[in-house]
Amino acid sequence: MDKLAIEGGASLAGEIVISGAKNAALPILCAALLTGGTMTFSNLPRLRDVATLLKLLAQMGVCVTPESGEERQAALDASGLNNPCAPYDLVKTMRASILVLGPLLARCGEAKVSLPGGCAIGARPVDQHIKGLQAMGAEIAVEQGYIHARAGRLKGARICTDMVTVTGTENLIMAASLAEGETIIENAAREPEVVDLANCLVSMGARISGAGTDVIRIQGVKKLRGATYAIMPDRIETGTYLCAAAATGGKVRLLKTSAASLDSVIDKLMDAGCDIRFARDAISLQAPARLKSISLRTAPYPAFPTDMQAQFMAINCVADGVATIRETIFENRFMHVAELQRLGADIQIEGNNAIVRGVASLQGATVMATDLRASASLVVAALVAQGETLIDRIYHLDRGYEDMAEKLSALGAKVRRI
């Protein structure tokens, strides 16, 4: 099992290119199931999750070029789609496989998708996905760990999800694109990745309005055509490197990214004392010698993203003052706290609040990654800790960060992959 060895103390400096967004690429690749035309994608991130999804789509009968799924470009031809099934052995490694459910139902009228199961950060139920598809006329049974779904042509419906759900909204938008009549999704997720999916579907001929707001209207069409689409930049990867630079008193420039979808994160970094400048598709950050502690509360977009919570906890560990971090989206997203405490962090958990008291410095130790963003927070902490930190189980990182060791090394970090 690979490990990362990080020698702390270097201030990050220089520039790197940000990759395509994982959480936009995953739903958008599933949208290829909706058409018999060829979809050509660019700016795909080279990530384990993307490779896993391309393998899943290929075993359904989608022709994926190149087969490796390791390139930034891919062509997907779902005209030969003949196996609307997502088996447990693939779904258990990548929960976002649930995103094939809506498209398969809309295109084939049937789907057999393994329940994704929980993960380190929470139970991750998919009841809202199922409720919305049933409202559109699908018959769905959950048996032996699988979702068995059948439908004639789906019918447009008015759906209000019980809570804001990103992939739930995405599944329903994709299903509604080929349904008969109008679907209105209320309490819809407003994340930029939802907007990116909607933009891709529109380029395929879908009729969607309101993406990015909490009410999305979709007029179903009979068929969708193939199209060419470039994935948006990854705002969470961007935020992660901004945090790494902020924690190490660095000065970095991130290219091929946009500040447009990161306002809440950038506001917090500015409050912490960072000087941040924007160009058309670049963000520069100059950090102060020592950050001010910054409290935050996660919530659905445009509020502070839960996927940046762990990284901000890391920078608060070495900031000046006391910060309160409240996690409102997932019930167990403090797995990084125990590992950060091994590095000398002073953190108290009270329910879904974490009280972080900045300390003078952290000390390197051996720690273990538990989930994708927790791993990122351990990397940020290791970069600023004294001495060497060994991070185990970094396959979690490979799922969501393209070439992280190389990108950090390019910024002057002392990182070795073992």
**Which residues are near ligand EPZ by CB under 6 A?**
22-23, 26, 96, 122, 124-129, 163, 165-168, 306-307, 329-330, 372-373, 400
Closer to ligand EPZ at the Cβ: 340 or 372?
372
Decide if 119 is catalytic: yes
Antiparallel, parallel or unpaired: β 388-392 and 13-17: unpaired
Alpha-helical regions (H) of 60-162 = 88-91, 101-108, 127-135
Distance between CA atoms of residues 8 and 183, nearest Å: 52
- 22-to-197, 257, 361 alpha-carbon distances in Å: 12, 14, 33
Which helix (H) or strand (E) segment is 267 a member of? helix 263-271
Closer to ligand EPZ at the Cβ: 65 or 332?
332
Q: How far is the CB of 160 from ligand EPZ (least distance, A)?
A: 13
Closer to ligand EPZ at the Cβ: 385 or 404?
404
Distance between CA atoms of residues 210 and 411, nearest Å: 39
Closer to ligand EPZ at the Cβ: 396 or 407?
396
Catalytic residue, candidates 63, 85, 119, 160: 119
CB neighbours of 47 closer than 8 A, spacing ≥ 6?
19, 22, 25, 398, 399, 400, 401, 402
Closer to ligand EPZ at the Cβ: 48 or 373?
373
Q: How far is the CB of 161 from ligand EPZ (least distance, A)?
A: 8
Q: How far is the CB of 117 from ligand EPZ (least distance, A)?
A: 12
Three-state helix/strand/coil letters over 387-403: CEEEEECCHHHHHHCCC
Count Cβ atoms below 10 Å from residue 66 Cβ, excluding itself: 11
Which tokens go with 340? 């950060």
Q: How far is the CB of 125 from ligand EPZ (least distance, A)?
A: 4
Q: Is the dihedral of CA 196, 411, 308, 285 positive or negative?
A: negative
Q: How far is the CB of 359 from ligand EPZ (least distance, A)?
A: 27
CB neighbours of 351 closer than 8 A, spacing ≥ 6?
none
Q: Are the C-beta atoms of residues 42 and 230 closer than 8 Å to each other?
A: yes
- Give the length of the chain: 418
Q: How far is the CB of 297 from ligand EPZ (least distance, A)?
A: 14
Closer to ligand EPZ at the Cβ: 67 or 162?
162
Could you give the residue numbers annotated as active site? 119
